């Protein structure tokens, strides 16, 4: 289902790209589920520990189902870069 990865505060989250937006899944594997296919659950306290901004956690808590964020693309921000960096480091 997911075809992208989004980095938020140096942590990677699965994402799905659709025209005009990106859906990010902030659910985490359930630590109490020891089955071969553990459930994904929304754990705001763990997200806080990972450094995810409170505003994103709050928005994910209000989504239905909990744990998903939909980011609309900004105009002129989705085109790939065509020039290489010229600054020497």
Q: Tell me the pLDDT of the chain averaged across its residues.
A: 81
pLDDT score of 70 more than 50: yes
Position 53 in a domain: yes
Position 80 in a domain: no
What does the block give as tokens for 42?
């929304």
Can you tell me which residue has the tokens 């754990």? 43
Which 8-state DSSP code applies to residue 66? T
pLDDT value, residue 36:
92
Number of domain units in the chain = 1
Position 32 in a domain: yes
Buried-exposed string 60-72: b where 16+ CB fall within 10 A, e elsewhere: beeeeeebbbeee
Model pTM above 0.75: no
Q: Could you report the per-residue pLDDT of 31-65, keeping only the tens digit for each?
A: 999 999 989 999 999 999 989 899 999 999 999 88
Q: Is the peptide bond before 60 cis (omega within 30 degrees of 0)?
A: no
């Amino acid at each position: 289902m997911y075809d992208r990865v989004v980095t938020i505060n140096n942590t990677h989250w699965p994402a799905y790209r659709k025209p005009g937006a990106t859906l990010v899944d902030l659910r985490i594997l359930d630590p109490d589920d020891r089955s071969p296919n553990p459930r994904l659950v929304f754990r705001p306290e763990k997200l806080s520990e990972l450094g995810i901004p409170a505003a994103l956690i709050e928005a994910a808590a209000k989504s239905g189902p909990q744990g998903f964020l939909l980011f609309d693309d900004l105009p002129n921000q989705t085109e790939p870069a065509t020039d290489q960096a010229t600054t020497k480091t």
